Amino acid sequence: MTTPVLPQDCLDMAELRKQIDRLDVELVELLVARAGYIDRAIELKKDNGWPARIPDRVEEVIENAGREAETRGLDPEIAKTVWRLLVEWSVQREAQVIREE
Q: Is residue 57 a known part of a binding site? A: no
Separation CA 35–CA 90 (nearest Å): 8
Q: Is residue 45 a known part of a binding site? A: yes
Q: Is residue 18 a known part of a binding site? A: no
Give the other-Cβ count within 10 Å of 29's Cβ.
10
Q: Is residue 17 a known part of a binding site? A: yes
Separation CA 78–CA 88 (nearest Å): 15
Query: Which residues in the chain belong to E strands, given as ranges?
Result: none
User: Which 8-state DSSP code applies to residue 73?
Assistant: T
Give the other-Cβ count within 10 Å of 13's Cβ.
8
Task: Tell me, rounded to whole angstroms, the distance of Cα 57 from its chain centroid.
Answer: 15
Residue ranges at the known binding site for substrate: 17, 34, 45, 94
| Residues in the annotated binding site | 17, 34, 45, 94
